[in-house]
Amino acid sequence: MSRARLVLGVFVAFMLAAPLLLPEFHVTLLNYIGLYSIVALGLVLLTGVGGLTSFGQAAFVGMGAYTTAYLSTAFGVSPWLTLIAGLALTFAVSVFLGFITLRLSGHYLPLGTIAWGISLFYLFSNIEFLGGYTGISSLPEINLFGLALDTGRKFDYLIWALALLALLSVDNLLDSRSGRAIRALKGGGLMAESFGVDTARMKIVIFVHAALLASLSGWLYAHLLRFVNPTPFSINAGIEYLFMAVVGGAASVWGAVVGAGILTVLKQWLQDLLPRLLGQSGNFEMIVFGVLLVLLLQRAREGIMPLVLRFFPAPKKQLQAAAPELPRRTQPAAGETLLELTRVRKAFGGLVAVNDLSFSLSSGEILGLIGPNGAGKSTVFNLVTGVLPLTGGEVRFRGERIDILSARAIVPHGLARTFQHVHLLPTMSVLENVAIGAHLRGSKGVISAALRLERAEEAMLLAEAARQLERVGLGDSMHEQAGSLALGQQRILEIARALCADPVLLLLDEPAAGLRYQEKRALAELLRKLRSEGMSVLLVEHDMDFVMKLVDRLVVMDFGEKLAEGLPQEIQANAVVLEAYLGGVK
């Protein structure tokens, strides 16, 4: 049994025994920690993993609490039905808010949630049928299989059972196809998009997920106290939830429990201590919280969990050798025209970066696109991959126009790319980084991931990633962290990731830049091997030596225009090219 499982076992045993053994006050604290953990868990997913944030989680807690309070007291609806009603309402509101804020840059979501948190607080406080500032009392107790949960001790089991389920489901989610996409949101958005991940949708998914967890916590809270008023759902409570997630950190879902535990106990202690010290009453703990949070963000931005996790090394991913292969697309016949650029033009303001460029690439060849720095090669690359829109002309791939498609929509046509500045997720394993390339070859979503109903597909995706790593010669490093590889290996990792998408054409952006001599030779060797296996490659490169020995044909650019096109020998003898490379100074 692994150490992590042992700790989990001890934790569950403690939670089973605690309500029977601990004094009332400690059980109450445990209840609150459980409730807060559920909310903080949503923020670990949203802020820690996804890089987004919300200060308005308390408002979602309030929605869950007020929905059940109103429906169960005014109409006598069963709490189990009001739970569904509360979640449905939260779902609708969070989808709406997510939709309008997540398309904007990152800071609009938190600002929007502050405004929305304040607005909802005043709404709760002023709506008559919600009891105004006095709130709603005498909520019914929850009945579980005929057993009334009428004391804190009994209720504790429900809270922690749900908290554990929530923790495990988020943990499952993160370890899946969708989870890899979610983990790519922070720092890998462009990369994820270019392998077909709908990052905007993934952002809404985690925002809604976090909101639903908050709403669930609110429902539990309302029936634990059997009373609600607006105070616990104010913006300050929303800020405290975020603190919990930051204190725990995003390294593990258990950060939510650790953060909630520390802040709850600390607050209790400070609320006792500070007013006595200062000789007046008030919420002085907020000074300490504020200062602590600033120090934490300055000194240990990852929170406390990384320190804890040092004692629990992550287990290696289990690969199923028997996993069936993913279906592959039919590759085109050799010699078929794959990529065709016709009078492609790109202007930035008045500056024409690419001027009526035309060339084509056939199946089975390696075509090099070269030119001096600033010639417009990278712009061409971004036009072909859909990162930039064209000003004029068209790009066709196997006869279909792709210049009107977004980066994400181009991938399914069979183009896969690498990046000039490597884009990988440094703390994720090499294997998982590569598996992102196969995103579009799987289809299972968030819910099946949370419930572990996608294991067969997941095994196939990981097996494919492992196969491509073997293919490029990185098989031995698959369990290492991607950030620990040397630059040359990181470039090769990017090629493996692109191969995982089962492409017809590989697009490589300056793959040799910054590589050492041996690394360049290994890279050239790999590209030759891929060509012999029928792969087509468009290579944008600056390093003449590297290109000349490798490619079948060359297109030379300067000042956004095509200077020459032909076989390597022809290009080397071309006077115009020589002039461009040697510069205008004679």
Partner 1 sequence: MNAEIALFLIQDGLTNGAIYALLALALVLVFAVTRVIFIPQGEFVAYGALTLASLQLGKLPGTAWLLLGGGLVVAAVELVQAVRLGAVRRIPAILFNYIVIPSALLSLAWWAAPQKPALTLQILLALALVVPLGPMVYRLAYQPLANASVLVLLIVSVAVHLAMTGLGLVFFGAEGSRTPPFSDAQWKLGVLNISGQSLWVMGSSLALIVALLLFFEHTIYGKALRATAINRIGARLVGVSPAMAGKLSFTLAALIGALSGILVAPITTIYYDSGFLIGLKGFVGAIVGGLISYPIAAAGALLVGLLEAYASFWASAYKEVIVFTLIIPVLIWRSFTTHHIEEEEE
Partner 2 sequence: MSALLEVRGLSVAYGKVEAVHQAALRLEQGRIVTVIGPNGAGKTTLLAALMGMLPARGSIAYAGQEILRLEPEQRVSRGLCLVPERRELFAAMTVEDNLVLGAFHRYRKRDKTIAGDFEQVYRLFPRLQERRRQLAGTLSGGERQMLALGRALMSRPRLLMLDEPSLGLAPLIVRDIFRVIAGLRETGVSILLVEQNAHAALQVADYGYVLETGEIVIEGPSASLASNPRVIESYLGLVSSDAG
Among 12, 84, 111, 487, binds partner 1 (CB under 8 A): 111
Give the one entry of partner 1, partner 2, none that residue 543 binds, where binding means its C-beta sits below a cut-off of 5 to 8 angstroms depending on kind: partner 2
Give the one entry of partner 2, partner 1, none that residue 415 binds, where binding means its C-beta sits below a cut-off of 5 to 8 angstroms depending on kind: none
**Smaller CB separation from partner 2, 308 or 548:** 548
CB count within 10 Å of CB 165 equals: 13
Give the one entry of partner 2, partner 1, none that residue 301 binds, where binding means its C-beta sits below a cut-off of 5 to 8 angstroms depending on kind: partner 1
Helix, strand, coil percent content, the chain, rounded in steps of 5: 60, 15, 30
Query: Is-contact 249 302, C-beta < 8 A?
Result: yes
Site for partner 2 in 98-117 (CB under 8 A): none
Q: Does 101 bind partner 1 (CB under 8 A)?
A: yes
Collapse the DSSP code of 55 into the 3-class scheme (helix H, G, I; strand E, B; otherwise coil) and give the result.
coil
Crossing angle (nearest 10°) for helices 24-43 and 255-278: 120
**Smaller CB separation from partner 1, 283 or 443:** 283
Give the one entry of partner 2, partner 1, none that residue 122 binds, where binding means its C-beta sits below a cut-off of 5 to 8 angstroms depending on kind: partner 1
Crossing angle (nearest 10°) for helices 235-248 and 255-278: 120
Considering all CA atoms of the chain, what is the largest pairwise distance in Å, rounded to the nearest integer?
Answer: 94
Give the one entry of partner 1, partner 2, none that residue 12 binds, where binding means its C-beta sits below a cut-off of 5 to 8 angstroms depending on kind: none
Q: Does 132 bind partner 2 (CB under 8 A)?
A: no
Give the nearest distance from C-beta 262 to partner 1 in angstroms.
15
Q: Does 186 bind partner 1 (CB under 8 A)?
A: yes
**What angle (nearest 5°) sits at the alpha carbon of residue 167, between those of residues 166 and 173?**
90
The interface mask with partner 2, positions 332-351, x = CB under 8 A, is ------------------xx
d(CA 376, CA 357): 10
Give the one entry of partner 1, partner 2, none that residue 284 binds, where binding means its C-beta sits below a cut-off of 5 to 8 angstroms depending on kind: partner 1
- Looking from the CA of 453 toward its CB, the CA atoms found within 13 Å total 8
Q: Does 110 bind partner 1 (CB under 8 A)?
A: yes
Q: Does 427 bind partner 2 (CB under 8 A)?
A: no
Query: Is-contact 143 136, C-beta < 8 A?
Result: no
Among 10, 12, 16, 115, binds partner 1 (CB under 8 A): 115
CB count within 10 Å of CB 273 equals: 13
The pair of structure tokens assigned to 23 is: 């004094």
Crossing angle (nearest 10°) for helices 152-174 and 24-43: 20
Among 134, 143, 283, 443, binds partner 1 (CB under 8 A): 283
- Strand (E) positions, 320-475? 337-348, 351-362, 366-370, 392-397, 400-401, 415-417
List of residues 6+ apart from 533 with CB closer than 8 A: none
User: What residues line the site for partner 2 (CB under 8 A)?
Assistant: 350-351, 372-375, 426, 483-484, 486-487, 490, 510, 512-517, 542-545, 548-549, 559, 568-569, 571-573, 577-578, 581-585
Binding site for partner 1 (CB under 8 A): 47, 51-53, 55, 99-101, 103-108, 110-112, 114-116, 118-119, 122-123, 126, 185-187, 189-190, 193, 199-200, 236, 239, 242-243, 246, 278, 280, 282-287, 289-291, 293-294, 297-298, 301
